[in-house]
Structure 1
């Protein structure tokens, strides 16, 4: 799933290619992708993109008083194309969910555009066409952006205060902090040397400070690694930069211990017992506790 660093890189990539360019056509291909119907995506035709924003994991392509907003979910992706066929794609069972054409030379533009695709049978890719980003429920409920200057250590500590939830879940909760998912929460906790099942309200001031520093550093470094890359290279860059997530059975790059995994019904987390849990493995079951 694309998380804050990849979506920020996509925002930068699209800002350079969309801003100042006019929309020729927008065509939803998969019925499931469109989450709003008024205004219709066709209302973007003839409008010029003025900016591209990011809200957590949401991409926001602004065209005057309309916003085309995309959430790539678990298996969605944006594929930029310097040229697109004129004929509209046929709806079917393939991965294509939506296509957007930019105005071509005959209209004073450069052409090109992008496809939104989604692999697999579980369709969660979401597209919204709205006048105000706050009309999108997922954006309206977002917590603060962790890379915003206003996200201070004091703000972070306040978010954790009194929380009886495990820190892994809180980092992934978009209403608490925007943009962090399964992969980067693993990376942040490894960098902070904290157990994923540490209860937030039981953390010391030193642990909170270490977690804040790890969060900001991990995300900033990931953004910098991704900056300037073409959209098609962001997935591989993310995987290359991860130290523990997705690396079950490999040596921890810090201590050399074997990276372990806890599996859930629809996801898994990875961690280093030596670095994060005092050498004690976590039980690999849904309601995991430290093994006695």
Structure 2
């Protein structure tokens, strides 16, 4: 699943490379991923319009178009964007191609067909848009605001971190990384956390995501379809030594997701539900 660090770098690249470019053609190869919320027609509503800006909200990438229209991409579990020359090889299961006025193509591929690409004049018509909490790196999300928002939840730390209503942009991989950096057991419940542990969690969230953006930016360049994660400390590295203490990393499946953590640095007991 693309998460905040990858999508922030995607935003940076697209803002630099496609802003002020005009969409000359649209090819829909897998209609199940596109949603026309304008009633004008997906192709007709895109063709000929210039891209005026690119921004991100949580895990959504938004391309602003002329006349207040938006092309909004929610990649979900397996969606990827590709910026390529027209003759370059397509990613498997490419679903949508935007042909730009400089001869390049912006493509969306999704090996699971779970993501969606919305064309809309009103962002509030997009499913889940109005449910999204503040971005995990929003400057307005201070420690005090974080504490207040966290107090509304009573569940497990990891489950809260991946809840887009709490904060936006964090998925399974970076929730593992944040908990490891904070030295907190991912299945600890929120009411058990001390004030000091909440502060550790907040600063681990901010630092982990900011450092990951730097790593992703350095590794992918303009190849926005890549998702480098070799630099992660624990996620999906079961059995490898913990970078902090050397204990083999534990990896379990619980709550319908894989969780990776260090039993030495992040002690705790999972209560099965």
Tell me the equivalent position of 1:107: none
Is 2:216 aligned against 1:232?
no
Shift of 1:144: 0.6
Residue aligned with 1:52, SS: strand
> What TM-score comes out, normalization by structure 2 length?
0.91
Give per-residue Cα distances to partners, 1:69-107, cap 9 Å, x unaligned. 11111111111112259xxx9xxxx6121111002xxxx
Tell me the equivalent position of 1:78: 81
CA distance in 1, matches of 2:259, 2:95: 29
Aligned residues: CA RMSD: 2.0
Tell me the equivalent position of 1:220: 210
> Structure 1 residues 62 and 233 mapped into 2: Cα distance closer, same or farther (>3 Å)?
closer
CA distance in 2, matches of 1:189, 1:69: 30
CA distance in 1, matches of 2:76, 2:153: 27
Residue aligned with 2:238, SS: coil
Tell me the equivalent position of 2:185: 195
Is 2:70 aligned against 1:67?
yes
Tell me the equivalent position of 1:116: 108
CA distance in 1, matches of 2:20, 2:238: 45
Tell me the equivalent position of 2:24: 24
Structure 1 runs not aligned, ≥5 long = 104-109
Tell me the equivalent position of 2:41: 40
Q: Which has the higher strand share?
A: 2
CA distance in 1, matches of 2:183, 2:250: 14
The structure whose Rg is larger is 1
Q: Equivalences for 1:245-260 in 2 at 5 Å?
A: 245-260=235-250
Is 2:272 aligned against 1:288?
yes
Tell me the equivalent position of 1:102: 100
Tell me the equivalent position of 1:106: none
> Structure 1 residues 39 and 171 mapped into 2: Cα distance closer, same or farther (>3 Å)?
farther
Shift of 1:232: 3.1
Residue aligned with 1:69, SS: strand
> Structure 1 residues 219 and 206 mapped into 2: Cα distance closer, same or farther (>3 Å)?
same
Does the aligned pair in 2 maintain the 1:55–1:139 contact within 8 Å? no
CA distance in 2, matches of 1:268, 1:81: 33
